[in-house]
Amino acid sequence: MTTHAPVADPIAPAPRWMKAALLAAAVYNVAWGTAVVLFPVATMSLLLGETLESTRLWPQLWGCIGMIVGVYGVGYAAAAFNPARHWPIVLVGFLGKIFGPIGFIDAALKGQLPWSMGVTNITNDVIWWVPFGLILLYAWRSNRRHRQA
C-alpha cells in the first residue's frame, strides 16, 4: 500500500499585505452586510438622510444587498490565505466593486437614487480597487510563472 504526501502549493506565499487587505475586506463586508441585514431601515435612513417612513418601501431589497455584501466577506476571508490560488473570488469581488459604482452613477444621474447613497460606493468599492487590482496582478503573474516552470 502506497501513500502519497500532500502536494505542496508551488506558488510562493503572497506578500503579507495581501492577506491583511483581504482579511480587512472580509471583516468590513461581513460587518456592513450584517448591519444592513439586521437594520435595513435604519441603515438606509442614515444613508438617505431621510426619515424612517420614507425608507420603508425598500428594506427587503436593501437587506438582500447586505446579505450579498456579507457573503463576499466570507469569500475574501478564504482567498486571504492563498490569493494566487483563489483569484476567482477576488476577481468576482473586484468586478462588483467596479460595476456597483457604475450602476449607482447611472441611477443617480437618472434621479432614481439620491447622491447621498454614493458614500457606500466609496467604502464598499472604491477604496478596494487598488489592493484588489494588485492582488489580481500578483495572481496572474504567479500563475503564469508556475505554468512556465
Is the residue at 102 inside a domain? yes
Does the pLDDT at position 54 exceed 70? no
Residue 90 domain-assigned?
yes
Q: How much is the pLDDT for 53?
A: 57
Element (H, E) at 147: helix 129-148
Q: What torsion do the CA atoms of 97, 103, 106, 112 make, to the nearest 10 degrees?
A: -120
Average pLDDT of span 44-60: 69
| 104-132 per-position pLDDT tens digit | 999 999 998 888 889 999 999 999 999 99
**pLDDT, the chain, mean:** 87
Other Cβ atoms closer than 10 A to 93: 24
Averaged pLDDT, 67-79:
96
Does residue 112 form part of some domain?
yes
Residue 77 banded pLDDT, cuts 50, 70, 90: very high
Q: 113 or 67, which is more confident?
A: 67
What residue numbers bound the domain in which 116 lies?
23-36+67-148
How many domains, in total, are found in the chain? Answer: 1
Could you tell me how far CA 76 lies from the centroid of its own chain? 7
Question: Counting beta carbons within 10 angstroms of the beta carbon of residue 23, is it exposed (0 to 12), middle (13 to 18) or buried (19 or more)?
Answer: middle
Residue 61 lies in a domain: no
- Other Cβ atoms less than 10 A from the Cβ of 62: the count is 19
Over 90: is that where the pLDDT of 48 sits? no
138 occurs within a structural domain: yes
Who's near 118: CB < 8 A, 6+ residues apart? Answer: 101, 104, 105, 108
DSSP string, 81-113: T-TTTSHHHHHHHHHHHHHHHHHHHHHHHTTSS
Higher pLDDT, 96 or 144: 96
Distance, C-alpha 58 to centroid of its chain: 22
Q: What is the pLDDT of residue 1?
A: 56
pLDDT of residue 19: 97
- Is 101 part of any domain? yes
